[in-house]
Amino acid sequence: MKLLTWNIQAGIGTSRYRDYFLRAHLQLVHAPSKTAILENIAREIMPYDVVCLQEVDLGGRRAGYRSQVEDIAALSGHPHVAVQENRRIPGISRHGNAILSHWPMTQVRNLKLPGRVAGRGCLVADIAGEHALTVVCLHLSLGGSDQQLQLAAVAQAVRGAHAWAALGDFNCGARSAPLEAFCETTGGHLRRPAPSTFPAWRPTRDFDHIITGGALSVTHYQCEPAAFSDHRAVSAVVSAGA
Protein backbone atom coordinates (compact mmCIF):
# COMPACT_ATOMS: atom_id res chain seq x y z
CA MET A 1 0.00 0.00 0.00
CA LYS A 2 1.43 3.37 -1.04
CA LEU A 3 1.02 6.27 1.40
CA LEU A 4 1.76 9.97 1.02
CA THR A 5 1.47 13.06 3.21
CA TRP A 6 1.63 16.66 2.01
CA ASN A 7 1.05 20.10 3.47
CA ILE A 8 -0.25 21.83 0.32
CA GLN A 9 -0.39 25.40 1.70
CA ALA A 10 -3.90 25.89 0.26
CA GLY A 11 -2.48 26.02 -3.26
CA ILE A 12 -0.65 29.31 -2.64
CA GLY A 13 2.60 27.94 -4.09
CA THR A 14 5.37 29.69 -2.19
CA SER A 15 8.65 28.95 -3.97
CA ARG A 16 11.07 31.35 -2.23
CA TYR A 17 11.12 33.24 1.05
CA ARG A 18 10.07 36.58 -0.41
CA ASP A 19 6.92 34.93 -1.82
CA TYR A 20 5.54 34.91 1.72
CA PHE A 21 5.22 38.67 1.23
CA LEU A 22 4.74 38.92 -2.54
CA ARG A 23 2.00 36.27 -2.54
CA ALA A 24 0.47 37.16 0.83
CA HIS A 25 -2.71 38.36 -0.89
CA LEU A 26 -3.38 34.73 -1.89
CA GLN A 27 -4.12 34.04 1.77
CA LEU A 28 -7.20 36.22 1.26
CA VAL A 29 -8.37 35.76 -2.34
CA HIS A 30 -8.56 33.12 -5.05
CA ALA A 31 -6.44 33.27 -8.22
CA PRO A 32 -6.07 31.13 -11.37
CA SER A 33 -2.57 30.16 -10.25
CA LYS A 34 -4.11 28.14 -7.40
CA THR A 35 -6.18 26.10 -9.83
CA ALA A 36 -3.03 25.18 -11.76
CA ILE A 37 -1.21 24.23 -8.56
CA LEU A 38 -4.08 22.03 -7.38
CA GLU A 39 -4.09 20.28 -10.77
CA ASN A 40 -0.36 19.61 -10.41
CA ILE A 41 -0.85 18.29 -6.88
CA ALA A 42 -3.63 15.97 -8.10
CA ARG A 43 -1.33 14.52 -10.77
CA GLU A 44 1.42 13.92 -8.20
CA ILE A 45 -0.81 12.06 -5.73
CA MET A 46 -2.68 9.97 -8.31
CA PRO A 47 -0.56 6.79 -7.87
CA TYR A 48 -0.92 6.68 -4.06
CA ASP A 49 -3.48 4.50 -2.30
CA VAL A 50 -3.95 6.76 0.73
CA VAL A 51 -3.07 10.45 0.79
CA CYS A 52 -3.12 12.77 3.81
CA LEU A 53 -3.29 16.49 3.07
CA GLN A 54 -2.83 19.40 5.45
CA GLU A 55 -3.52 23.11 5.01
CA VAL A 56 -6.38 22.55 2.59
CA ASP A 57 -9.13 25.14 2.18
CA LEU A 58 -12.56 23.55 2.41
CA GLY A 59 -14.46 26.35 0.68
CA GLY A 60 -13.40 29.79 1.85
CA ARG A 61 -13.14 32.91 -0.31
CA ARG A 62 -9.44 32.30 -0.90
CA ALA A 63 -10.43 28.97 -2.51
CA GLY A 64 -13.11 30.51 -4.70
CA TYR A 65 -15.77 29.11 -2.33
CA ARG A 66 -14.95 25.59 -3.57
CA SER A 67 -13.54 22.70 -1.56
CA GLN A 68 -9.97 22.16 -2.68
CA VAL A 69 -10.23 18.56 -1.49
CA GLU A 70 -13.16 17.78 -3.78
CA ASP A 71 -11.38 19.36 -6.74
CA ILE A 72 -8.17 17.43 -6.08
CA ALA A 73 -9.96 14.11 -5.51
CA ALA A 74 -11.95 14.48 -8.74
CA LEU A 75 -8.72 14.95 -10.69
CA SER A 76 -6.63 12.35 -8.85
CA GLY A 77 -9.25 9.59 -9.00
CA HIS A 78 -9.58 8.98 -5.26
CA PRO A 79 -13.25 8.05 -4.71
CA HIS A 80 -13.17 8.03 -0.90
CA VAL A 81 -12.64 11.31 0.95
CA ALA A 82 -12.77 12.41 4.59
CA VAL A 83 -12.31 16.02 5.66
CA GLN A 84 -11.84 17.89 8.92
CA GLU A 85 -12.32 21.62 9.41
CA ASN A 86 -10.11 22.99 12.19
CA ARG A 87 -10.28 26.75 11.85
CA ARG A 88 -12.61 29.15 10.06
CA ILE A 89 -11.90 32.81 9.36
CA PRO A 90 -15.31 34.18 8.36
CA GLY A 91 -15.43 35.43 4.80
CA ILE A 92 -11.84 34.36 4.10
CA SER A 93 -10.87 30.74 4.71
CA ARG A 94 -11.79 27.30 6.04
CA HIS A 95 -8.64 25.51 7.18
CA GLY A 96 -8.59 21.73 7.38
CA ASN A 97 -7.06 18.30 6.91
CA ALA A 98 -8.15 15.58 4.51
CA ILE A 99 -7.66 11.90 3.75
CA LEU A 100 -8.09 10.69 0.16
CA SER A 101 -8.20 6.95 -0.48
CA HIS A 102 -8.57 4.43 -3.27
CA TRP A 103 -10.05 2.14 -0.61
CA PRO A 104 -13.22 2.59 1.46
CA MET A 105 -12.88 4.29 4.84
CA THR A 106 -14.79 3.26 7.95
CA GLN A 107 -15.16 4.74 11.43
CA VAL A 108 -13.86 8.18 10.49
CA ARG A 109 -13.16 10.23 13.63
CA ASN A 110 -12.64 13.98 13.84
CA LEU A 111 -10.40 14.74 16.83
CA LYS A 112 -9.67 18.27 18.01
CA LEU A 113 -6.20 18.49 19.51
CA PRO A 114 -5.40 20.36 22.73
CA GLY A 115 -3.22 23.45 22.74
CA ARG A 116 -2.93 27.04 23.86
CA VAL A 117 -4.47 28.19 20.58
CA ALA A 118 -7.44 26.30 19.14
CA GLY A 119 -7.45 25.14 15.55
CA ARG A 120 -5.34 21.98 15.41
CA GLY A 121 -6.78 18.54 14.78
CA CYS A 122 -6.25 15.03 13.60
CA LEU A 123 -8.47 12.99 11.32
CA VAL A 124 -8.57 9.25 12.00
CA ALA A 125 -9.93 6.66 9.56
CA ASP A 126 -9.86 2.90 9.26
CA ILE A 127 -8.92 1.90 5.70
CA ALA A 128 -10.60 -1.25 4.39
CA GLY A 129 -8.01 -2.04 1.74
CA GLU A 130 -5.36 -4.62 0.94
CA HIS A 131 -4.46 -4.46 4.60
CA ALA A 132 -6.63 -3.25 7.48
CA LEU A 133 -4.97 0.01 8.43
CA THR A 134 -5.79 2.89 10.79
CA VAL A 135 -4.61 6.19 9.29
CA VAL A 136 -4.12 9.42 11.22
CA CYS A 137 -3.81 12.71 9.31
CA LEU A 138 -2.54 15.50 11.55
CA HIS A 139 -1.13 19.02 11.66
CA LEU A 140 0.51 19.97 14.94
CA SER A 141 1.17 23.33 16.57
CA LEU A 142 4.56 25.03 16.51
CA GLY A 143 5.48 24.86 20.20
CA GLY A 144 7.05 21.82 21.82
CA SER A 145 4.77 21.82 24.87
CA ASP A 146 1.65 21.86 22.69
CA GLN A 147 3.11 19.16 20.45
CA GLN A 148 3.63 16.88 23.44
CA LEU A 149 0.00 17.33 24.52
CA GLN A 150 -1.27 16.79 21.00
CA LEU A 151 0.81 13.68 20.39
CA ALA A 152 -0.42 12.22 23.68
CA ALA A 153 -3.95 12.55 22.27
CA VAL A 154 -2.86 10.93 19.01
CA ALA A 155 -1.30 8.06 20.98
CA GLN A 156 -4.70 7.41 22.55
CA ALA A 157 -6.30 7.41 19.09
CA VAL A 158 -4.04 4.62 17.77
CA ARG A 159 -4.05 2.53 20.95
CA GLY A 160 -5.19 -1.01 20.18
CA ALA A 161 -4.95 -0.63 16.39
CA HIS A 162 -3.55 -3.75 14.68
CA ALA A 163 -1.66 -1.64 12.15
CA TRP A 164 -1.51 2.16 12.03
CA ALA A 165 0.22 5.07 10.36
CA ALA A 166 0.31 8.69 11.53
CA LEU A 167 1.02 11.07 8.66
CA GLY A 168 1.27 14.82 8.53
CA ASP A 169 3.02 18.06 9.28
CA PHE A 170 4.38 17.55 12.79
CA ASN A 171 6.22 20.90 12.83
CA CYS A 172 9.11 19.16 14.60
CA GLY A 173 12.02 16.94 13.69
CA ALA A 174 12.51 13.22 14.08
CA ARG A 175 14.94 13.78 16.95
CA SER A 176 12.71 16.23 18.82
CA ALA A 177 11.52 15.43 22.34
CA PRO A 178 7.81 15.26 21.37
CA LEU A 179 8.41 12.72 18.59
CA GLU A 180 10.84 10.68 20.68
CA ALA A 181 8.24 10.46 23.45
CA PHE A 182 5.44 9.60 21.02
CA CYS A 183 7.40 6.75 19.46
CA GLU A 184 8.40 5.41 22.87
CA THR A 185 4.79 5.51 24.10
CA THR A 186 3.22 3.91 21.02
CA GLY A 187 6.04 1.68 19.79
CA GLY A 188 5.93 3.70 16.59
CA HIS A 189 8.67 3.59 13.99
CA LEU A 190 10.03 6.75 12.41
CA ARG A 191 12.71 6.90 9.72
CA ARG A 192 15.92 8.41 11.08
CA PRO A 193 17.59 10.38 9.73
CA ALA A 194 14.36 11.77 8.31
CA PRO A 195 14.42 13.55 4.94
CA SER A 196 14.18 17.34 5.07
CA THR A 197 10.91 18.72 3.69
CA PHE A 198 10.84 22.44 4.51
CA PRO A 199 11.23 24.89 2.86
CA ALA A 200 10.42 23.08 -0.36
CA TRP A 201 12.84 25.08 -2.52
CA ARG A 202 15.80 24.28 -0.26
CA PRO A 203 14.76 21.79 2.45
CA THR A 204 16.66 22.01 5.71
CA ARG A 205 14.03 20.94 8.29
CA ASP A 206 12.30 17.56 8.71
CA PHE A 207 8.78 18.63 9.65
CA ASP A 208 6.73 16.10 7.66
CA HIS A 209 6.70 12.42 8.66
CA ILE A 210 5.06 9.03 8.32
CA ILE A 211 5.18 7.13 11.62
CA THR A 212 4.03 3.51 11.61
CA GLY A 213 3.09 1.08 14.34
CA GLY A 214 1.66 -2.34 15.02
CA ALA A 215 1.98 -5.06 12.40
CA LEU A 216 3.27 -2.75 9.68
CA SER A 217 6.56 -2.71 7.81
CA VAL A 218 7.85 0.16 5.67
CA THR A 219 9.88 0.30 2.48
CA HIS A 220 10.78 3.04 -0.01
CA TYR A 221 10.42 5.92 2.44
CA GLN A 222 11.34 9.20 0.76
CA CYS A 223 10.80 12.91 0.28
CA GLU A 224 9.17 13.63 -3.07
CA PRO A 225 10.82 16.10 -5.49
CA ALA A 226 7.70 18.08 -6.48
CA ALA A 227 7.61 21.60 -4.99
CA PHE A 228 4.10 22.99 -5.44
CA SER A 229 3.90 24.10 -1.79
CA ASP A 230 6.33 25.41 0.79
CA HIS A 231 6.54 21.80 2.06
CA ARG A 232 7.67 18.71 0.15
CA ALA A 233 5.60 15.55 0.33
CA VAL A 234 6.77 12.34 2.04
CA SER A 235 5.82 8.90 0.75
CA ALA A 236 6.20 5.31 1.91
CA VAL A 237 5.23 1.81 0.84
CA VAL A 238 3.82 -0.24 3.72
CA SER A 239 2.72 -3.82 4.20
CA ALA A 240 1.01 -5.52 7.12
CA GLY A 241 2.25 -8.66 8.82
CA ALA A 242 0.41 -11.26 10.85
Beta pairing partners, 235 = 4, 222
Q: Each residue of 124-133: pLDDT tens digit?
A: 999 998 778 9
Looking up residue 223, the CATH number of its domain turns out to be 3.60.10.10
**Burial class of residue 137, CB neighbours in 10 A (0-12, 13-18, 19+):** buried
Beta pairing partners, 98 = 53, 83
Its domain, for residue 25, covers 2-240
pLDDT, one tens digit for every residue, the chain (242 residues): 999 999 999 999 999 999 999 899 999 999 999 999 999 999 999 999 999 999 999 999 999 999 999 999 999 999 999 999 999 999 899 999 999 999 999 999 999 999 998 889 999 999 998 778 999 999 999 999 999 999 999 999 999 999 999 999 999 999 999 999 999 999 999 998 999 999 999 999 999 999 999 989 898 999 999 999 999 999 999 988 65
Q: Each residue of 152-163: pLDDT tens digit?
A: 999 999 999 999
The pTM score is 0.96
What's the domain count of the chain?
1
